[in-house]
A and B are shown apart, each in its own frame.
Chain A
């Protein structure tokens, strides 16, 4: 699976014009050689190594000052030396992101359920939600800080808000995308609305929900960090601001890497959950 995905761009490149050649014998395609020699994880790892080497060369040969951009080895050293400070600040950000994720997605699922059962409520409240969603996060953040004070609450609130809307839209679409004949079957069986929901709509929506949750996994971390930009004393966001003001590019890069790792970790957890669930709920018909 992974292997195929990583080999895909190369395969396209090999046919020149970006069109794959299904009829070409396997043996004459050079990419097959590459694909068989390099296991799935090797290609991305190679990419990362190439990137780091290029970064290192760029810093050396263009004589970039350390306060503009650090070299990779300096960042690595900072990651190690300041690991306790980084972890201390990573922890609250993770808590905010997780709480915001649970809150935002939970609300989105509830609201989607309500909308699916009441066209009136949907028509009344969906437009205002679209409008609020169109306000950029950086503009919403100060408003929430004013409303919720300076503790964990505004950060959780911001993380929740950025998760909310995409999940609402996806979940509502999933709940609506039931097979119309299955819906008629439920009617013939005299199923109640609750039964239609639990037996038909919810399982149909599970794949839609997961694709939204995967997006939310990363955006909840972004939301928490943006929340910490505004007058916070702790967290990845606060550390980013502090490092920037002090021209401490090494700490800045190390902090950003910590934030990314958190995002990726969170995403992987959701994807694992998705794979476990997919065995039961993925729409495999047609």
Chain B
């Protein structure tokens, strides 16, 4: 929003994997920027490199070519400074830890980094609507609840960048809509920069300030569509003519991918 320093900047980034002697181009010449406190959603067919893109930001994999800048530093520096929160598709909670211990896991790892952000683990659980479930184990929760625990875990150290890889993909539509509103509430409050992968056109349009559409084989940025919807999102947003028009536009772009 400041427009001065982008939180995430990709310049001609490429990733290739060699699999069985053959090279797979997972991402080719990806260039884009996400401003600080921005919310960008990623949309595209399976295998177009959405997860790969998020993994590059989190320094889980290194690009084969191009330049990546995260908060003005390298991705490794941003990771070591605990500036990156990652929410995985299957929540990835540790089944032998209680809900509250799962949320506090980041404090157990690394010596110098042990500090909570503005909110304590309890407050974050309350924020995602799980007050009173602190001592439960993950298997006692529904899929949506587990995903909320993992969001609380990702937010614990108040990362300046939040990466979400199809976090609500496995949930029913009602639950997903509710969690979308929870997420937008958190985003507005924390002013973190969000990069959010989804399969759902509606979800991408509802959440994002802009939607990046990726094309497959090879994975590449097809188009970045700004979202121009007035006011904060609510359930009536989905009925606005502008919203419906945007979804149609995104669908047409996806069909050419």
What is the interface of chain A, defined by CB distance below 8 A to chain B? 179, 181-182, 184-192, 195, 199-200, 203, 280-285
B88 pairs with A190, CB closer than 8 A: no
Map CB proximity to A onto B47-87 as digits: 1 under 8 Å, 0 otherwise. 00000000100111000000000000000000110101110
Contacting residues, chain A, for B139 (C-beta < 8 A): 284-285
Residue of B88, B89, B93 touching A285 (CB-CB under 8 A):
B93
Residue of B58, B89, B94, B138 touching A188 (CB-CB under 8 A):
B58
Contacting residues, chain B, for A195 (C-beta < 8 A): 109-110
Q: Does B108 contact A (CB under 8 A)?
A: yes
Residues facing A in B95-146 (CB within 8 A) are: 95-96, 105-106, 108-110, 113, 137-139
Nearest first, the 8 closest Cβ-Cβ pairs linking A and B are A284-B139, A181-B92, A181-B88, A285-B95, A189-B109, A191-B109, A182-B92, A188-B86
20 contacts between A and B (CB under 8 A): A179-B92, A181-B92, A184-B55, A184-B60, A185-B88, A186-B109, A187-B59, A187-B60, A188-B84, A189-B105, A189-B109, A190-B79, A190-B80, A190-B82, A190-B109, A190-B110, A190-B113, A192-B110, A199-B105, A284-B138
Q: How far is the CB of B165 from chain A (nearest CB, A)?
A: 9
Residue of A184, A189, A203, A281 touching B106 (CB-CB under 8 A):
A189
Q: Does B33 contact A (CB under 8 A)?
A: no
Given contacts A184-B55, A203-B96, A285-B95, 9 further A-B contacts (CB under 8 A): A179-B92, A185-B88, A187-B60, A189-B105, A195-B109, A199-B94, A199-B108, A284-B138, A284-B139
Dominant SS among interface residues on chain B: loop
Q: Which residue of A lies closest to B84 (CB)?
A: A188
Whole-angstrom CA separation of A259 from B92 in the bound complex: 46
What is the interface of chain B, defined by CB distance below 8 A to chain A? 55, 58-60, 79-80, 82, 84-86, 88-90, 92-96, 105-106, 108-110, 113, 137-139
Q: Tell which of A179, A187, A190, A200 has the most Cβ of chain B within 10 Å.
A: A190
Whole-angstrom CA separation of A199 from B92 in the bound complex: 13
B90 pairs with A181, CB closer than 8 A: yes
Q: Tell which of B60, B90, B94, B113 has the most Cβ of chain A within 10 Å.
A: B94
Q: Tell which of A188, A283, A285 has the most Cβ of chain B within 10 Å.
A: A188
A184 pairs with B93, CB closer than 8 A: no
